[in-house]
Amino acid sequence: MKNFVVKTLANAAALAVAIWLVKNITLTGDSTGKKALTLILVALLFGVVNSIVKPVVKFLSFPLFILTLGLITFVINALMLLLTSWLAGKLDLTFHVEGFWTALLGGLIISIVSWALNVVLPDDKD
């Protein structure tokens, strides 16, 4: 359970950095508390998308992984971010990603920040 909370908070921090750095990734709300709650909910949604949809997409695109030497990963990350944005809209969460290139840059930022946070934060495997 602790590992789940840590990973969700790392996802939320990575999403916050992407929102802060990329102008076409937006999170709106009336107050700071509402924005924080929305960010946590979007991080949970992003985690669900990455744990359920992403492995299926990676498996189906395995030949492209070989052909592009793994660079297709950036496109898949962008698509997962766009899917999260779309699902957030369906769930009335005020998170939006404007276009593929924004999602590609956002996915790259989220990957780097998540990697750095997972190196620093404790892991529950001990």
- Which pLDDT tens digits describe the chain residue by residue (126 residues)? 677 888 888 889 999 999 999 999 999 888 888 899 999 999 999 999 988 998 899 899 899 989 998 889 899 999 999 999 999 999 999 999 999 999 999 999 999 998 898 788 766 665
Across the strands, what pairs with 97?
25
Q: Is 95 exposed, middle or buried (0-12, 13-18, 19+ CB in 10 A)?
A: buried
- Please tell me the pTM assigned to this model: 0.86
Separation of CA 80 from chain center: 7
Q: What is the pLDDT of residue 124?
A: 62
